[in-house]
Amino acid sequence: MTQLALVIDLNVCVGCHACVTSCKEWNTSGEAGPMTDKMPYGENPTGTFFNRVQTFEVGTFPNTETVHFPKSCLHCEEPPCVPVCPTGASYKRKQDGIVLVDYDKCIGCKYCSWACPYGARELDEKQRVMKKCTLCVDRIYDELLPEHERKPACVMSCPTSARLFGDVHDPDSEVSKAIRDSNGYQLMPEWGTNPANHYLPRRKVEIKIHTDELKRVDNPLSKEERKKHQAPGTGPSLDDMTTW
């Protein structure tokens, strides 16, 4: 069974929102659109987004770290949002595990969004139906696109390659390897939703340098060392290194 998902590397994400804008651009003009904005230039702009990038601060100054955190539907393997939907508009695809909303069936009762602990669903003010990340389902299978472009728009746009896309059920996929090798984890594991999307944690890269490593005691090739042995016949000669 296939379960497509995103793996987001928090160690790499710089919080540039490129994925947010490219998601909006692709999806508002694609099958999942429009993603309505209300009063975009007014005092209180608001609109529908599938993807948000948030920023958190960890620790107390001066020992703080900034974590940029992109958040979209996690395409849970046990999605609590699906069984509660009275119309069957919310469903999880068997073939690839993508959780989708059928806009033609949705009655806009919002019950599914109550049942998503991650706040991944947003009701579209204009169309009055529930919307959420589709994992660019209208893009990843599009054979008109060159093979390397059949990825979600956010993955394509990420300038730091913080977003990986693939099948988390295939142990040899890029995403599965990344989860394995870099301790990928799921959000809010306490609710048993088993999100398909994973996050890779921040990794501190540290090198321990001891002082004696900075100052070599005995380097026969250093200038000083060579000067010491400059008197003829006292310095190292070829005979010291080789035997004929």
Q: Say how far apart CA 194 and CA 190 lie, in whole Å.
A: 9
User: Which two tokens mark 117?
Assistant: 């602990």
Q: Which residues contact 193 (CB under 8 A, 6 or more apart)?
A: 74, 76, 77, 78, 79, 80, 117
User: Per CB under 8 A, which region of 25-33, 153-161, 197-205, 225-233 contacts another protein?
Assistant: 197-205
3-state secondary structure of 167: strand
E-assigned strands of 33-102?
Answer: 37-38, 46-47, 51-58, 65-72, 90-92, 99-101
Question: By rule CB under 8 A, what count of residues binds another protein?
Answer: 63
Instruction: Fill in the amino acid letter for 177.
Output: K
Q: Say how far apart CA 37 and CA 188 lie, in whole Å.
A: 30
User: Residue 79 touches which of another protein, ligand SF4, none (CB < 5 to 8 A by kind)?
Assistant: ligand SF4
User: Residue 53 touches which of ligand SF4, another protein, none (CB < 5 to 8 A by kind)?
Assistant: another protein
Q: Which of 4, 98, 120, 175 binds ligand SF4 (CB under 6 A)?
A: 120
Name the minimum Å distance from CB 125 to another protein.
8
* C-beta atoms surrounding 211 within 10 Å: 6
Q: Which of 41, 60, 216, 233 binds another protein (CB under 8 A)?
A: 60
Binding mask 128-157 for another protein (x = CB under 8 A): xx----------------------------
Token pair 């589709």 is found at: 134
User: Which two tokens mark 191?
Assistant: 């609710």
226 binds another protein (CB under 8 A): no
46 binds ligand SF4 (CB under 6 A): no
Cis amide linkage into residue 34, ω under 30° from 0: yes
Beta bridge partners of 25: none
| Helix (H) or strand (E) segment spanning residue 166 | strand 163-167
194 binds another protein (CB under 8 A): no
Binding mask 62-101 for ligand SF4 (x = CB under 6 A): -----------xxxx--xxx---x-x-xx--------x-x
* Contact set with another protein (CB under 8 A): 17, 20, 39, 43-49, 52-60, 66-67, 69, 71, 80, 82-89, 105-111, 113-119, 121-123, 125, 127-129, 185-191, 199, 201-202
* Contact set with ligand SF4 (CB under 6 A): 73-76, 79-81, 85, 87, 89-90, 99, 101, 106-112, 116, 118, 120-121, 130, 132, 193, 195
